[in-house]
Amino acid sequence: MGQTITEKIFSEHVGKPVYAGEIIRCNIDMVIGNDITTPISIKAFEDSGATKLANPDGFSIVLDHFIPAKDIASANQARISRDFAKKHNLKNFFDEKDMGIEHALLPEKGLVVPGDVIIGADSHTCTHGALGAFSTGMGSTDLAFAMVTGGNWFKVPESIKVVLSGKPGKYTTGKDIILEIIRMIGVDGALYRTLEFTGSTIEHLTMDDRFSMCNMAIEAGAKSGIVAYDHITEAFLADKNLARTPKIHHSDADASYVQILEIDVANLEPVIAYPFLPSNGHSITQAVNDKIKIDQAFIGSCTNGRLSDLQVAAEILKGKKVHPDVRLIVTPGTQMILREASKLGYIDIIVDAGGVVSNPTCGACLGGYMGILGDNEVAVSTTNRNFVGRMGSRSSKVYLANSAVAAASAINGYICDPR
């Protein structure tokens, strides 16, 4: 009986063939915590009586949500993680000295590897599936259990096969593909399932596109998103000092899927998710016709804060100015991305246009800091969620889009088509 890539990853970890629906105990290759969720995990770890991490090299803490600290509470929260990292001589601890949004930083560092089983106390941990790994979000106490034991319990998820065909048009990206999928199946259409992205389109998608798609699998309710290892994955990893030897898996031709979705990407326009759900997708043509005036454009987050996002923003902004009524905020995903964008001139172009560039942080995405929306304000954002009050005031509105749309809209003052 054929297996999906997800079933194969779990089978390799437990040492026997396993299939969707089975409950298994599985070792974990990388456990990821951040400044919001890790203190809860640390308390549970210490309350258990544990004194040593089961797999210290497989545990990372990334302070990325409210760092540099936005207030006293966030400073005290971060200190709990700092003290724990120092006490346990944790080598994979990242704060202001080597900043980055966790789901951009760890792939950059080679700490997540094809074939891994990865968990994090952050719902967008599914991002790392773009590398051909099983990666999913869990609760803080689940993290504590993994910290103590080195593993956890899983129900092997069923898989939905997403078959993508055709070459995307200019300014149609992985963000648009995943928004279209969520529009089709809804925010619970893939509940506790893996979205496995396949088809001829994959060879046209960069790693940044793939990270965006897997990142937002959770917005369809999915347990994980995954793209099989190929030459593009290989090229991305070529200059990385990988934490482990990659284990390459591909789904069998006769693997069982609970559903198959087929999408012709060649005819897909950029997609805009209207408030207040990522599934409320509309074409850019409709958004332009709806004349949606904006107060803020945001480019960043674990979904779209990578170098290609800054590149396309600079391409569109070059020689132009942000509309007088609009604030443009750009957040690079990591310090390395920021430095590379600076070398390539992207940062100067963005600042010359009237944009502001912040440190790597999740702050604006979850309405924490670095871009909070006021009452009745409207934003076009490259983030992953547009729930009521997600980026600030409960009366504000967030329209999700790709980075090209966000940059073009910042100039226009209304959501507009960058093509």
Confidence check: pLDDT of 161 > 90: yes
> What is the band of 166 on the pLDDT scale with cuts at 50, 70, 90?
very high
* Per-residue model confidence as pLDDT tens digits over 25-72: 999 999 999 999 999 999 999 999 999 999 999 999 999 999 999 999
Taking residues 206-229, report their average pLDDT. Answer: 97
Between strands 271-273 and 281-283, the pairing is: antiparallel
Q: What angle do CA 303, 332, 68 make, to 5 degrees?
A: 105
Cα–Cα distance, 139 to 102 (Å, whole number): 16
Q: What is the mean pLDDT of the chain?
A: 97
Helix and strand numbers, DSSP H then E, in the chain: 14, 18
pLDDT score recorded for residue 284: 97
Confidence at residue 1, expressed as pLDDT on a 0 to 100 scale: 85
Q: Among residues of the chain, what percentage have pLDDT more than 70?
A: 100
The share of the chain scoring above pLDDT 90, in percent, equals 100
pLDDT at 271 exceeding the cut of 90: yes
d(CA 131, CA 228): 7
Q: Which domains does the chain have, with CATH numbers?
A: 5-263 (3.30.499.10), 271-412 (3.30.499.10)
Render pLDDT for 178-198 as a digit per residue (tens, 0 to 9): 999 999 999 999 999 999 999
DSSP structure string for 50-72: --S-SSGGGEEEE--SSTTTSSH
Angle, CA of 42, 129 and 364, to the nearest 5°: 60
SS3 sequence, 333-356? CEHHHHHHHHHCCHHHHHHHHCCE
Contact 287, 377 (CB under 8 A): no
Closest by CA to 378, choosing from 291, 255, 261, 271, is 291
Q: What integer is the mean pLDDT of 301-326?
A: 97
